[in-house]
Structure 1
Amino acid sequence: MIKQIYAKSPVFLQNIYISIYGYYWKRRRYGGCFMQKIKEFESHEKFSDKQWVDYQTAELRKLLIHAFTTVSFYNTLYKKHGFTLQDLKFFELEDLQKLPYLEKEDLRKFGTTTLLSNKRKRGEFYSSSGSTGTPIQIYFSKKFHQTWSALYEVRVRNWAGVNYKMPRAMIGGRRVILDTKTNPPYYRYNWAESQSYFSAYHISDITAKDYVLGLQKSKARYLVGYAMSIYLLAQSIIKLNLKTPKLKVVLTSSEKLTPLMRDIIEKAFKCKVFDAYSGVEACGLISENKRGELLFSQDSGIMEVVDNKGKLVNYGQSGEVIATGFLNYDQPLIRYRIGDKVKLSTSQHTFLDSKMLKIDEIEGRTEDIIIGQSGQKMVRFHSIFIGISSIIMSQVIQHSLNKIEIKLVVDSSYSVDYESIITGRIKSQLGEVKIGFCYVKEIEKTINGKFKTVISNIKNA
């Protein structure tokens, strides 16, 4: 009902609704322990190697004891593998590889039940985009949300020279404009946070001028959002020779930022780009400092980088990320196979001699682009699988401007009735397209062992 009221309201009322929500969102993230946690995270940046080892060892032991005693999933799992509470009290960092993985399918299946602590604080579930299948549900208490927000403030915004109080623009996954066929403006304004929120689903050469106008009107000091969406907008800005307002920085996340994308974005907006990696799971943060170095925040958790046999890789090598988060005690993620890859730097020497783990590259995933009939370009279908827990894996394939194929791996509880729901959600983003469904036992992987969630067969997409 709220969604229907919002959709039928004029733009100025939509801005008011968004601002009311923005006020709630601001208090939730920046109230409580937010300022205290900022000071704590800032104090860690001077840690020596030994201090990091001592800190991570203490935090790991505390987390494991808590998980064993309050989270039934881990209690059962660790007992099954022969671990006792006494073992965990004296756990060392090098012992971590003895623990079993937490698979993404486990998180999907048990994330809202046995993976929750019986001493959890009041909170809410937030979903991933679900671009690889059924979205995962991550539990955020207010304290966890404020702690994570403080870490982002210190290691992403502050390292880039901006802060949460500055006017900002964002291109993200929230559907602030619900109709794919609409007139400008292609953004809405959140007065509570001085934030202009731009649609990620309407970017094209036709709409780019309005996006730039929105940046000018909002007096945004920096732009933050999906790397590919910002890149697509930057391409249109350069192609049309549009003049953008002066921004301090652009902050990208969620998708792999390639050197070409960085160059195009910096050329379009005439400022430096800072990249970061985390995810809705919030169990690890990689962010970029002023010298362009990517550093892993070792107070966010432990990041193991392993080969295909589960062995830790050497510096200079790439591997799969196994994440153990230190900040979420309500739904602990321990040795979680998050599904992304990074490459460790050969030299661990850093600017200002920081002792945080240095990363050469966040390899992640680069998805193909889906093009709508109106020319809008998209790299993801945010939330089209939300609420359909019977979908195990998915792949979106565009064969032409008006034909899309959905490959699905499903379990026995799936019903073909879900096709109409998925179809409706896709059409709300792309307009009228023909959608076909193909049910398979597995989705073919690429040469590097991963599968592409989005494939476009349109030339030069």
Structure 2
Amino acid sequence: MLDFIYNHSPIFFQNIMVSVKGKQFIKQRYTEHYYNELAELKKCSDKYKLQEERLNEFIIYIKENSEYYGKLLNDINKPISFQNLKLLPLLEKEMINKHLDTLVTTKENLIRGQTGGSTGVGMIYYTTPYDMSRKFAYLDYFKETHGVYKGMKRVSIGGKAIIPNMQKRKVFWRYNKPLNQMLFSAYHADGDNLKYYVKQLNKFQPETIDGFTTVIHRMAKYIIDNQIKLNFKPVAIFPTAEALTDEMKIDIEKAFNCPVRNQYASSEGAPFITENINGELEINPETGIFELNHIQGNIYELIVTGFYTTTTPLFRYKIGDSVELYEKLPTNYSQKDIKIKRIIGRNNDFLISNERGIVTNINLSTVIRDAGPSIKNSQFVQNKSDEVDIYLVIEKDINIEKLEKLLVSKLKIRFGETTKFKFKYVDSIAKTTGGKTRFTINNIV
């Protein structure tokens, strides 16, 4: 009923409804637990000691309050170290979907959440104001290190359907007054619509921008390509939910003339990986445990334990994401040994060459960059080990034969001679149900 009222209301009233929802979020997010967590994070002098304490508190809590873990961890009667974690059972998305009723630790004040299922498996989970407010405390703690504080004028780009299908006006945003937040729709930020987004940015003049990486990058490219002068300068920009390539970061920083700070977590509550003021990626041990399974080279699959998931516990959770390290880990590695070069994201966000092994989205983004501005958008999809489908959105009147010859020459450097490339020209790249645009999709892993 509320959706019907929202979709059939004028925009000014939709802004009021969004603001009412914003007040609800404030009540959920900024509890006493938020301020307690923020204070503890600021006074912490040994992150790894706090991590060890929180790990065992987490294990005791889920053992005593989750029916599922009460059985699995029944024999655990002594403190667990990081090195001993591998002896305990793993958790996968399918298991959460199947055992959710017995996994949860409480039936009170539940807030339902759902992942988009970009790997083919969506997931229902529950959180509470306790978990949510502590997670937001860490997010604000991270942003404060880069000069961004709660209450600053903010633009957020996400996958919520805030624009009714029947709307004719080119107004692709709504204003959440209590949070001083302009919400941009990720579903409409493409093509000719980008000029309306950039015009609104100049009008609103946000102090910070966060949200879907590809949309922020698309706006940045539009600003650069059309030589648009912005009349504001954000303190910092925080891309989320999608992998950030070096080329994307360069473009965004050039367009907005401010630092871009990468971060990794997940809607269901994975611990944080964030970028520090020196541009280095760091695990945040205060928020959870990171176990790494070797895939190939310096690329590792993440298994995470999230301390902000006491409601639907993520304990040794195979989240389906991967990272690239600077160096291969020793056999008995510690949390301090984890030095992250880049966040790859989904485990199928890279392709595979029979000759050269893993080809990351970073390698592929440089191919697109070298082709110049004639390519407006692109996507690489691998359904066979020796074949890659390449979807391209290109400028009109481009010499396709010349473009393909250039791309193939660059791709052969990365894949070798035995991989075939099929080019498919489209008007737009398909988005996921959550409004994201995936750059690489590997359907053979």
TM-score under structure 1 length normalisation: 0.72
Q: What residue in structure 1 maps to residue 154 of structure 2?
A: 168
Gaps of 5+ in 1: 349-353, 369-375, 380-396, 407-421, 431-442, 450-461
Tell me which residue corresponds to 1:38: 38
Q: Does structure 1 conserve the Cα–Cα contact (< 8 Å) formed by 2:94 and 2:121?
A: no
Long gaps (5+) in structure 2: 330-334, 351-360, 362-375, 380-390, 393-423
- Give the 3 Å change call, closer, same or farther, for CA 263–275 of structure 1 in structure 2: same
Letter in 2 for 1:301: G
Are 2:269 and 2:314, in contact at CA under 8 Å, matched by a contact in 1? Answer: no
C-alpha RMSD of matched pairs (Å): 3.3
Please state how far the C-alpha of 1:347 moved relative to its aligned partner: 11
2:21 partner letter: Y
Name the SS of the counterpart of 2:157 in structure 1: strand
Deviation at 1:404, TM superposition (A): 9.9
Tell me the residue number matched to 2:98.
Answer: 109
> What secondary structure does 1:161 align onto?
coil
The code of the aligned residue for 2:303 comes to I
SS at match of 1:197: strand
For residue 150 of structure 1, what is the aligned residue in structure 2? Answer: 137
* Contact persistence 1:205–1:240 (CA under 8 A): no
Aligned partner of residue 137 in structure 1, secondary structure: strand
Secondary structure of 2:32's aligned partner: coil
Tell me how far 1:76 sits from its aligned partner: 3.1
* Structure-1 separation of matches of 2:104 and 2:70: 12
| Counterpart-to-counterpart distance in 1, 2:38 and 2:14 | 33
Q: Shift of residue 360 of structure 1?
A: 1.3
Q: Counterpart in 1 of 2:303?
A: 322
Partner of 1:342: 323
Aligned pairs (5 A) from 1:390-401: 401=426
Check the 8 A contact 2:132/2:308 in 1, yes or no: no
Q: Indicate the residue corresponding to 1:195 in structure 2.
A: 181
- Measured against aligned partners, the alpha-carbon deviations of 1:192-215 in whole angstroms (never above 9, x if no partner) come to 111111111111241222112212
For the residue of structure 1 that corresponds to 2:238, the secondary structure is: strand
| Aligned counterpart for 1:73 among listed residues 68, 76, 79 | 68
Q: Secondary structure at the match of 2:286?
A: coil
Which secondary structure state, in structure 2, belongs to the residue aligned with residue 340 of structure 1? Answer: strand
* Equivalences for residues 62-101 of structure 1 within 5 A: 62-78=57-73, 84-86=75-77, 89-101=78-90
Give 1:126's aligned residue.
Answer: 113
Please tell me whether the aligned partners of residues 201 and 377 of structure 1 are also in contact (alpha carbons under 8 angstroms): no
Cα deviations by residue, 1:127-165 (Å, 9 ceiling, x for unpaired): 11222334212211111111000011112x112210121
1:254 to 232, 241, 253: 241
* Structure 1 residues 205-236: Cα deviation after superposition (integer angstroms, max 9, x where no partner): 41222112212222310110111111112112
Alpha-carbon distance, 1:335 to partner: 0.5
Aligned to 1:445: 443
**Equivalent residue, structure 1, for 2:29:** 29
Query: How big is the shift at 1:256?
Result: 0.7
Shift of 1:264: 1.0
Q: How far apart are residue 343 of structure 1 and its match?
A: 2.3
Q: CA shift at 1:22, angstroms?
A: 0.9
CA distance in 2, matches of 1:279, 1:71: 22
Q: Specify the alignment match of 1:351 in structure 2.
A: none
Question: What's the secondary structure of 2:192's corresponding residue?
Answer: coil
Change (3 A) 1:160 1:209: same
Instruction: Tell me the distance in 2 between the aligned counterparts of 1:251 and 1:403.
Output: 25
Q: CA deviation at 1:43?
A: 2.0
**Counterparts of 1:182 and 1:400, CA distance in 2:** 28
Match of 2:257 among 270, 278, 282: 270
- Report if aligned partners of 1:74, 1:115 keep a CA contact under 8 Å in 2: yes
Distance 1:200 1:191 in 2: 20
TM-score by length of 2: 0.75
* Percent identity between the two aligned chains: 30
Q: Letter of the aligned partner of 2:284 in structure 1?
A: S
- Read off the aligned partner of 1:94 and give its amino acid letter: Q
Structure-2 separation of matches of 1:37 and 1:153: 11
Aligned-partner Cα distance in 2 for 1:168–1:199:
14
Pick one of 125, 134, 144 that aligns with 1:138.
Answer: 125
Q: Which has the higher contact order (CA 8 A, sep 6+)?
A: 1
2:338 equivalent to 1:360 = no
Within a 5 Å distance, the mapping from 1:418-437 to structure 2 comes to none
Q: Residues 334 and 304 (structure 1 numbering): CA distance in 2 closer, same or farther, change over 3 Å?
A: same
Contact 1:180 1:202 in 2 (8 A): no
CA spacing shift, 1:250–1:57, aligned 2, 3 Å: closer
* 1:302–1:325 CA contact under 8 A, matched in 2: yes
